Amino acid sequence: MPDYKEFSRKVAVVGVGESQIGINPHKSVMELGVEAALNALDEAGLSVKDVDGVFSGGPGGNSIMAASEYLGITPRYLDATYVGGTSYIMHVEHAMVALMAGFCDVAMIFHGEMARSRIGMGGGSDGGGPATYGGQFDSPFAPGGAVSQVGLSAVRHMHEYGTTRDQMAEVAVSTRKWASLNPRAVMREPITAEEVLGGPMISWPFTIAMCCLVMDAAGCVILTTAERAKDLNMKPVYVAGTGESITHNNTSQMKDFAFWEAAAKNAERIYDMAGVSPDDIDIAELYDAFVFNPMLALEALGLCKVGESGDFVANGGTAPGGHLPLNTHGGGLSYVHPGPYGIFPLIEGIRQLRGEVGARQVEDAHHAIINGMGVGFMSACGTLILSDQEKI
């Protein structure tokens, strides 16, 4: 039986692309998704005729079947796995396996949403009908929505470890500093911790600046084998380590509100597969729908000790010049967040390792960790280690 370590660095990213981001009321979800896909293919020096593996999924209008039809692709391999924002990070592992097995030669992962322009226009699900477990054991007792669920976890962490709102605010300050270096970021004006904490309260302990943006955007990533990648346009970025896990569905079934078990399960494999340790990580692109999400990931992935993420992010620890650059494009808090968001930290990690992001470039970066959180709060988790090195 193959050892998963045999797959390390055998597949590479050869192209990434994004659509116009922000508010796009005159475009459809499909138009945004196709714009991102064509940009990624053009960068790689490939065409839609080269794509024979398609990976996507989600509540938006650019379904895997509709997008394949629109682009004129007849794929040999399809994957419509959808478990929320981490889906597109998980798709990298799925694409790696498909490429290594010969089920496809060029894999396209894409996703787009009109979270801002189409807000309130239907879609989604109630997630808590009376016949569901969630309807019986979660909904009657709240919390209502992701912001309240993450808030529960944050408050528990505050109780157990002494974490403070001031420390959490530093995550928003840090990502805004990175965003100020990114000309494409939606929010670029500097912000202080005092301004973060003094903004309108959304759900305790989070103010509006501690919550993600709601915008329109699409992203796309193209992968192929490491051997073929050498003949294409862009510097290859290798998939060194992968992990995915789901620990529960309903919030009421969580074992520990202050620790992200699914991410810790990923950590057991990704470092071993990649042949590196947490100390080797140069950049962290961690899902930040709210300021506390990346703090949970820092602990679960071994990037800091459990209970110490507050101190880790304090005093600019993850800002430009800090000990671990975090969400260097500005993250979901300041760059863009169109709903299921995981493809955007993935794209930023790739661009950083290719050394092409200008003022926000992290020097001598060789390993990036990418992490996503999916539906079912702190349940679904996908994590990657990417590298610019084909060999350790």
Output the DSSP codes for 126-183. Answer: -S--TTSHHHHHTGGG---SHHHHHHHHHHHHHHHH---HHHHHHHHHHHHHHHTT-T
Q: Is the pLDDT of residue 135 over 80?
A: no
Q: What is the mean pLDDT of the chain?
A: 92
Tell me: the pLDDT tens digits for 19-78? 998 888 788 888 899 999 999 999 999 999 999 999 998 765 457 888 899 999 999 999
The pLDDT of residue 257:
92
The pLDDT of residue 124:
37
Cβ-contact 313, 324 below 8 angstroms: no
The pLDDT of residue 375:
79
The pLDDT of residue 122:
41
**How many domains are there within the chain?**
1
The pLDDT of residue 144:
66
The pLDDT of residue 378:
86
Q: Is the pLDDT of residue 120 over 80?
A: no
The pLDDT of residue 200:
98
Structural domain that includes position 63 = 4-119+212-387
Residue 155 is assigned to a structural domain of this protein: no
* Dist. CA 56–CA 112, nearest whole Å: 9
Residue 231 is assigned to a structural domain of this protein: yes
Residue 127 is assigned to a structural domain of this protein: no
Higher pLDDT, 262 or 121: 262
Around Cβ 182, how many Cβ atoms within 10 Å?
A: 20
Average pLDDT rounded to a whole number, residues 81-102: 96
Residue 380 is assigned to a structural domain of this protein: yes
Q: What angle do CA 109, 237, 347 make, to 5 degrees?
A: 45
Distances (CA, A) of 239 to 33, 223, 368: 23, 9, 10
Most confident option among 65-69, 84-88, 101-105, 146-150: 101-105
Average pLDDT rounded to a whole number, residues 128-139: 65
Residue 174 is assigned to a structural domain of this protein: no
Residue 332 is assigned to a structural domain of this protein: yes
CATH of the domain at 21: 3.40.47.10
Residue 130 is assigned to a structural domain of this protein: no
Residue 15 is assigned to a structural domain of this protein: yes
Tell me: the pLDDT tens digits for 172-214? 999 999 999 999 999 999 999 999 999 999 999 999 999 999 9
Lowest mean pLDDT among 1-5, 34-38, 230-234, 235-239: 1-5
* Dist. CA 54–CA 80, nearest whole Å: 8
Most confident option among 116-125, 131-140, 145-154: 145-154
Residue 245's SS3 state is strand
Lowest mean pLDDT among 29-38, 114-123, 327-336, 379-388: 114-123
The pLDDT of residue 351:
99
Tell me: the pLDDT tens digits for 338-381? 888 999 999 999 999 999 999 999 999 999 999 999 877 888 99
Average pLDDT rounded to a whole number, residues 131-139: 67
